[in-house]
A and B are shown apart, each in its own frame.
Chain A
Amino acid sequence: MISTQRIARVAGYGMTQAADAYVYRPTCVEEINKIFDEARTAGRKVTLRGAGRSYGDGNIGSETLLIDITRMNRILSWDASTGIIDCQSGVTIENLWRFCLEDGYWPPVVTGTMYPTLGGALGMNVHGKNNYCQGTMGEHVIDMDVLFPNGELKTLTKDDDLFYAVISSAGLLGVITRVKLQMHHVASGNVDVWAEAAQNWDEQFALFEKYEHNSDYMVSWVDCFAKGAKAGRGQFHGAWYKDREDLASRVAEKQDLPALILGFFPKSLVWKVLKLVCNRPGMRFLNAAKQFASSTIGNNKMHDQSLVAFSFLLDYVPDWRKAYEPGGFIQYQTFIPKEHAKAVFAEQVRLQQEYKLESFLGVLKRHRPDKFLFSHAVDGYSMALDFKVTAKNRVRLWELAHKMNDLTLKHSGRFYFAKDSTLRPEDAAEYLGEGLPKFRKLKSKLDPEGLLVSDLGRRLKLS
């Protein structure tokens, strides 16, 4: 029998999907092997989980033995002359920048929050606002150790085909236990940030095209409530690393986000205020207000911003997801080839308005393709959306998502398992194409007992 003390309810970050699982927090490879053995004895499966920052059901597994890798958080070696760091996979993006920035290095790819672990980030092969020029996190891995359920511990490099399968496989092929990563050199802890308002879809895409060859980061906010000629309006941000050495700005304490918003309001309370406006009228107003500010006082301006403040917008408001309680929210992000992106995103927003289920936040990013097995990226754009889930809107929201999924597939678009909650098995099969049978073949070889599962894998019938 498994100790009943281990059972806990674990949820995806969006809080819409949860599962009861037996949680283990190993500290080394040997302990992970023991968990695999215990699972075999109990006739159960195993699920991998990093910091639990995937929004849907990729990091949960009902009734499984859940390996939470957050205690495998040791930095094993650091070479400040080359920027190469070797660490256990439970090390987070925050651990990385806090450790390396003072020596002039920044993680090559960061998500909108600093809390994901490297293991989780590589399982989902995350991207950041620089995907169009730096690719995904996986592209910066020099080598990594992976423990497969069959007991093999392999060191994989870019010369191994398996490298491109394990990274992006959503934790379904093996446990990444150690990662050697090439960090990115930065002279300063600050970036130059350019803000420019876009009044419609045409202007949005024109801004990305204008800056894509000479910027280090690009991202744009979209007001999903705007209609007609104003549809697609928002605010573009481009950012550039600074060339001038600035040690003072690289000290971790200088990067910490302020505890107060506007100098007086504790940011730990902001989610409570957000909760008051976390509804259609409130968000319509907030989006309009932001557009007004973006087009007036914040327009066409270059400003200095710390790397942390620019990169980790989601961490500005602690516990921001609580604003979506009790039903939680889904993140929805699709990746569309550049030829069709404008039309598809415009239609996705129109559909949201038709359903009266507008995303409270829309974020556009530019991407480039990569060679990972379950790649989400395309030579094109993605639009990330946040939808509040309630008992009343759930059925209609999923109906809307399925329509947007169909639209995406029709235009050779792709999806992102770190955020997915709405794909159906047939959608996943179409999106993954030849990648799915390849994955299944690898799975049968490396995990013949089918020990590694997740609720996402079960939902999409990946294996």
Chain B
Amino acid sequence: MKYQTAIVVGASSGMGRELVRQLAASGTKVAAIARREERLQELVNEFPGLVTPIVHDVTDHDAIPELFQTITRDLRGLDLFIYNSGAMPIVEVKEFTWEKDKQMLDVNISGAVAWCNQAADRFLHTNHGYLVGIGSVAGDRGRHKQPVYNASKAFFHTYLEALRNRGVCVSTIKPGPVDTEMTAPLNMKGMMSAEQAATIILSKADKNGEHYLKLAHRIAFYIIKRVPSPIFRKLKI
């Protein structure tokens, strides 16, 4: 068992759910955090004694510091923290709906900072523990379809880089499209399964730095990031 204890925020579906399952399968005690209690209960039923369900909405920022201490107390430690929550409502081209944008800002930025600050503060003091932030390739450029989602992930990447520069061991994961509930409305083909993504994420959890899930993504986004803005604008991607 690589990690004795872990917290996964955003654990009820997709990659988060798979991360909990794979950690618990290896014997890790996991606090699984999400809003949907029934989904968490399924994980508890699958791994009794290893998964602790915590019903929580990441936009309830003020509750987070105390909840974090309670969870770490009950887990008796923390080796791995994964922030996986993310909101990506469908936004039409040229749509500017504040409610949708605010939801993304609350979950992808404020929730992320409120949770990751707790983990980073702890890990800095103990000089122990790994922080994993699930970002996105979408954060690498400002694309016309999802301005706020892109910007929120770019913020998260920069924030995580800053934590690394403060001395915390942080793994920033930049998945491409993964087959989850969040991406289902996109109707994309050839997406990586959540199970496969979780396996790769866990293999990179203790590696300080930014990580793509596929070599092809790494190469593609190396190039995409360097495309000059006037050209990128015309590509319409």
Question: CB-CB contacts of A1-31 with B at 8 A, as 1s and 0s?
Answer: 1101101110000000011100000000000
Contact B66–A4 (Cβ < 8 Å):
no
**Inter-chain contacts of A19 with B (CB < 8 A):** 77
**Inter-chain contacts of A43 with B (CB < 8 A):** 70, 73
Question: CB-CB contacts of B56-88 with A at 8 A, as 1s and 0s?
Answer: 000000000110011011011110000000000
Interface of B (DSSP majority class): helix
Of B41-49, B124-132, B216-224, the one with at least 4 CB within 8 A of chain A: B124-132
**Inter-chain contacts of A44 with B (CB < 8 A):** 73
Q: Is A42 an interface residue (CB 8 A)?
A: yes
Q: Is A63 an interface residue (CB 8 A)?
A: yes
Contact A4–B122 (Cβ < 8 Å):
yes
Question: CB-CB contacts of A428-457 with B at 8 A, as 1s and 0s?
Answer: 000000000000000000000000000000
Compute how far the CA of A7 lies from the CA of B76 in the bound complex, rounded to whole angstroms.
13
**Inter-chain contacts of B75 with A (CB < 8 A):** 63
Contact B77–A4 (Cβ < 8 Å):
no
Q: Which of A9, A19, A20 has the most CB of B within 10 A?
A: A20
Chain B residue nearest to A45 (CB atoms) is B73
**Inter-chain contacts of A1 with B (CB < 8 A):** 65-66, 69
**Inter-chain contacts of B122 with A (CB < 8 A):** 4, 7, 20
Q: Is A62 an interface residue (CB 8 A)?
A: yes
Contact A8–B125 (Cβ < 8 Å):
yes
**Inter-chain contacts of B65 with A (CB < 8 A):** 1
Known: A1-B66, A4-B121, A7-B122. A63 touches B128 (CB 8 A): no
Q: How many residues of A contact B (CB 8 A)?
A: 15
Contact B128–A9 (Cβ < 8 Å):
yes
Chain B residue nearest to A62 (CB atoms) is B76
Interface of A (DSSP majority class): mixed
**Inter-chain contacts of A63 with B (CB < 8 A):** 72-73, 75-77
Compute how far the CA of A108 lies from the CA of B121 in the bound complex, rounded to whole angstroms.
45
Least CB distance from B57 to A in Å reads 20
**Inter-chain contacts of B128 with A (CB < 8 A):** 9, 18, 20
Chain A residue nearest to B69 (CB atoms) is A1
Contact B121–A20 (Cβ < 8 Å):
no
Question: CB-CB contacts of A50-69 with B at 8 A, as 1s and 0s?
Answer: 00000000000011000000
Least CB distance from B74 to A in Å reads 8
Chain B residue nearest to A6 (CB atoms) is B125
**Inter-chain contacts of B126 with A (CB < 8 A):** 7-9, 20
Within 8 A of A (CB), among B22-48: none
Least CB distance from B127 to A in Å reads 6
Least CB distance from A20 to B in Å reads 5
**Inter-chain contacts of A62 with B (CB < 8 A):** 76-77
**Inter-chain contacts of A8 with B (CB < 8 A):** 125-126
**Inter-chain contacts of B70 with A (CB < 8 A):** 43
Compute how far the CA of A9 lies from the CA of B125 in the bound complex, rounded to whole angstroms.
8
Compute how far the CA of A19 lies from the CA of B78 in the bound complex, rounded to whole angstroms.
10
**Inter-chain contacts of A7 with B (CB < 8 A):** 122, 125-126
Indicate which residue in A5, A18, A42 contacts B125 across the interface (CB closer than 8 Å): A5
Contact A42–B73 (Cβ < 8 Å):
yes
Within 8 A of B (CB), among A70-94: none
Contact A20–B69 (Cβ < 8 Å):
no
**Inter-chain contacts of B121 with A (CB < 8 A):** 4
Show 12 A/B contacts (Cβ-Cβ < 8 Å), sorted by A.
Answer: A1-B65, A4-B122, A5-B125, A8-B126, A9-B128, A19-B77, A20-B78, A42-B73, A44-B73, A62-B77, A63-B73, A63-B77
Residues of B within 8 A of A (CB): 65-66, 69-70, 72-73, 75-78, 118, 121-122, 125-128
Residues of A within 8 A of B (CB): 1-2, 4-5, 7-9, 18-20, 42-44, 62-63
Add 15 more A-B contacts to A8-B126, A9-B128 (CB < 8 A): A1-B66, A1-B69, A4-B121, A7-B122, A7-B125, A7-B126, A8-B125, A9-B127, A19-B77, A20-B72, A20-B126, A43-B70, A63-B72, A63-B75, A63-B76
